[in-house]
Amino acid sequence: MTDRDTIAAIATAAGAGGVGIVRLSGPRARAIGEAVTARALRPRHAHHARFLDAAGEAIDDGIALYFAAPASYTGEDVVELQGHGGTAVLQVLLARCRELGARLARPGEFSERAFLEGRLDLAQAEAVADLVAAGDARAARAARRALDGEFSQRVEAIAAELLAIRVHVEAAIDFADEPLDTLGGAALRARLAATGDALDALLARAEHGRRLRDGLHAVIVGPPNAGKSSLLNALAGSDRAIVTDIAGTTRDLLHEVVRIDGVELSLVDTAGLRDGGDAIEREGMRRAHAELQRADLAIIVLDARDPAGGRTAVADAIAGVPQRVWVHNKADLLAAGEPASPAGNDGAPDATPGASDEPPLRLSALSGVGLDALHARLKALAAGDDIGEGTGAFTARSRHVDTLRQAAVELAAARAQLSHESLDLAAEALRAAHDALGEITGRVRADDLLGHIFSSFCVGK
Ligand SMILES: Nc1nc2c(ncn2[C@@H]2O[C@H](COP(=O)(O)OP(=O)(O)OP(=O)(O)O)[C@@H](O)[C@H]2O)c(=O)[nH]1
Ligand SMILES: [K+]
Ligand SMILES: [Mg+2]
């Protein structure tokens, strides 16, 4: 596009480094690059050059690269000036580019231009930011897959199928007098069911991908004095939370990010759940309940000497949390002679309320005995062993998960309407599902969404 201005930014991280890069994109990028280097720039050629100020004095020397539109990251003319890393030198070089007509880029503006020029779709552009921000190698691999378009391709495949179904349904509306089954209704329903299954599978993978990006969100819950705060401290490896023998010590939520063998986990300590308590404690319990609503995982801490007593207190709060780990704490206080296998079941027939839950882990937050087994289980959950590396995870954001969920709801509505032969309503629900998928890749887009997404990038990306 020729009506755009030319943007510039320091593309490398702040601070001194071996190499520092000023990146330019836009119609004047080449002219500015040639003015700075005082030489003609050929596309895709490494030019060793001096970078000159207005007086012709050398600011630095290094490599100038020119990528001609549209074969560049942004799809526009792009010039990269690679000099010696160093904040002052790069700032002077950037200032020179601005003198020559470039404007300072906003965060994410290079990727935004790549999106607007059709070089990347929206989910891929987001993957760029995720790749830069990836906290570990697994998250980086997953972002790379999303950037390669694996996620987008799956979304597009489902969207294409939905479009074909919509065409069929819209056509059937024109023959409203005929029963749907004479118009291929059975095949249509089967096709819709298969598309629903594909969408559900993609949603499960996107949820896994969101955990890879954001980390597993685990909430520690249990009755007062069970040792929740002690466990948080043990997992964090520092005295983050106040621990006393007074029931009701923790009132507010306490957030902590911990890493287990390179896998990130966000932990929240909460107020003990019980009947009664003063106003502050009750507010703490309300917050604990609210936090559990958005938890991926509840770590339920019970006193090993009386696990049954605490279970009733937490039963309501943990209903609806997708995954649970049961901990029987204070194992060191059990009478000698009781089986002390840290990872073992305590043998009580009602020890695990959820049929699919693993047996409780017996441990001591105080002494650390049994913590290894908890580490191992949390790591497995955070890494998403339920999905497995082999399927090739890709990062996804809450935005994607929410949108896929919305599409799944509309698809279910369309199926119901179709079985009632309400073709108009089915068509409407299918359109809504189709639009929702379009929002993920940016085919259907709201401009405030774009601003929101790209402003969270770093400058120079
Ligand atoms: N012996 C023993 N004591 C423990 C263990 N874990 C915690 N405690 C003690 O139990 C008491 C309560 O521990 P907290 O960590 O404050 O318990 P909490 O569940 O956070 O309590 P509230 O915040 O009041 O709900 C403290 O005196 C701890 O030192 C353990 O594994 N063994
Ligand atoms: K306490
Ligand atoms: Mg506490």
For 210-242, how does the pLDDT look when each residue is reduced to its tens digit (9 = 90+)? 877 777 889 999 999 999 999 999 999 999 999
**Does residue 224 have a cis bond before it (omega within 30 degrees)?**
no
Q: Give the residue numbers spanning the domain of 46.
A: 7-120
SS (H, E, C) 90-107: HHHHHHHHHHCCCEECCC
For 273-282, how does the pLDDT look when each residue is reduced to its tens digit (9 = 90+)? 999 889 999 9
Known binder of ligand: residue 226? yes
* Interface predicted TM-score of the whole assembly (ipTM), two decimals: 0.99
For 90-136, how does the pLDDT look when each residue is reduced to its tens digit (9 = 90+)? 999 999 999 999 999 998 999 999 998 989 998 999 988 888 888 77
Lay out the sheet containing 19-25: strands in order across.
47-52, 58-67, 78-84, 19-25, 7-10, 103-104
* Contact between 370 and 390 (Cβ < 8 Å): no
Q: Clarify whether residues 151 and 185 are in a common domain.
A: yes
pLDDT, mean of residues 78-86: 92
Q: Clarify whether residues 166 and 203 are in a common domain.
A: yes
Q: What is the pLDDT of residue 278?
A: 92
Known binder of ligand: residue 387? no
Q: How many whole angstroms from 264 Cα to the centroid of ligand 1? A: 25
Residue 196 has pLDDT above 90, yes or no: yes
Q: What angle do CA 80, 81, 82 make, to 5 degrees?
A: 110
Q: What is the mean pLDDT of the chain?
A: 88
Whether 382 is in a domain gets the answer: no
- The residue among 120, 148, 183 that closes a domain is 120
- The number of the ligand 1 atom at minimal distance from the alpha carbon of 232 is 15
Instruction: CATH number of the domain at 401, please.
Output: 1.20.120.430
Whether 437 is in a domain gets the answer: yes
Whether 453 is in a domain gets the answer: no
* Contact between 111 and 11 (Cβ < 8 Å): no
Higher model confidence: residue 239 or residue 446? Answer: 239
Residue 76 has pLDDT above 50, yes or no: yes
Whether 225 is in a domain gets the answer: yes
Q: Clarify whether residues 226 and 358 are in a common domain.
A: yes
* Nearest to 330, CA basis, from 222, 231, 224, 221: 231
Which residue has a Cα nearest atom 14 of ligand 1?
A: 227
Q: Clarify whether residues 14 and 66 are in a common domain.
A: yes
Whether 457 is in a domain gets the answer: no
Instruction: CATH number of the domain at 73, please.
Output: 3.30.1360.120
Instruction: CATH number of the domain at 293, please.
Output: 3.40.50.300
Around ion ligand 3, residues with a beta carbon closer than 5 Å are 228-229, 249-250
**CA–CA gap between residue 221 and residue 317 (Å, rounded):** 9
Percent of the residues in the chain that have a pLDDT greater than 90, as a whole number: 59
**CA–CA gap between residue 302 and residue 247 (Å, rounded):** 13
For 355-406, how does the pLDDT look when each residue is reduced to its tens digit (9 = 90+)? 568 899 999 999 999 999 999 999 888 766 444 444 567 888 888 988 999 9
Q: What is the pLDDT of residue 23?
A: 97
pLDDT, mean of residues 24-36: 98
Q: Is 428 helix (H, G, I), strand (E, B) or coil?
A: helix
Q: Clarify whether residues 238 and 360 are in a common domain.
A: yes
Entry pTM = 0.66
Instruction: Tell me how far CA of residue 183 lies from CA of 164, 212, 333, 395, 414, in angstroms.
Output: 15, 45, 72, 41, 17
Residue 227 burial (CB count, 10 A): 25
Residue 1 has pLDDT above 50, yes or no: no
Q: What is the pLDDT of residue 386?
A: 46
Whether 378 is in a domain gets the answer: no
Residue 3 has pLDDT above 80, yes or no: no
Dihedral Cα 380, 237, 304, 276, nearest 10 deg: -110
* Nearest to 303, CA basis, from 257, 245, 356: 245
Whether 456 is in a domain gets the answer: no
**CA–CA gap between residue 25 and residue 48 (Å, rounded):** 20
Q: What is the pLDDT of residue 351?
A: 38
Which residue has a Cα nearest atom 11 of ligand 1?
A: 245
Q: Report which bound ligand comes closest to the CA of 365.
A: 1
Q: Clarify whether residues 141 and 72 are in a common domain.
A: no
Q: Is 227 in the pocket of ligand 1 (CB under 6 A)?
A: yes
Count structural domains, the chain. Answer: 3
Residue 334 has pLDDT above 60, yes or no: yes
pLDDT, mean of residues 408-433: 93
For 246-299, how does the pLDDT look when each residue is reduced to its tens digit (9 = 90+)? 999 999 999 999 988 877 788 999 999 999 889 999 999 999 999 998 888 999
* Nearest to 78, CA basis, from 47, 104, 43: 43
Whether 460 is in a domain gets the answer: no
For 292, counting Cβ atoms within 10 Å of its Cβ (0-12 exposed, 13-18 middle, 19+ buried), the class is buried
The confidence band for 182, taking pLDDT boundaries of 50, 70 and 90, is confident
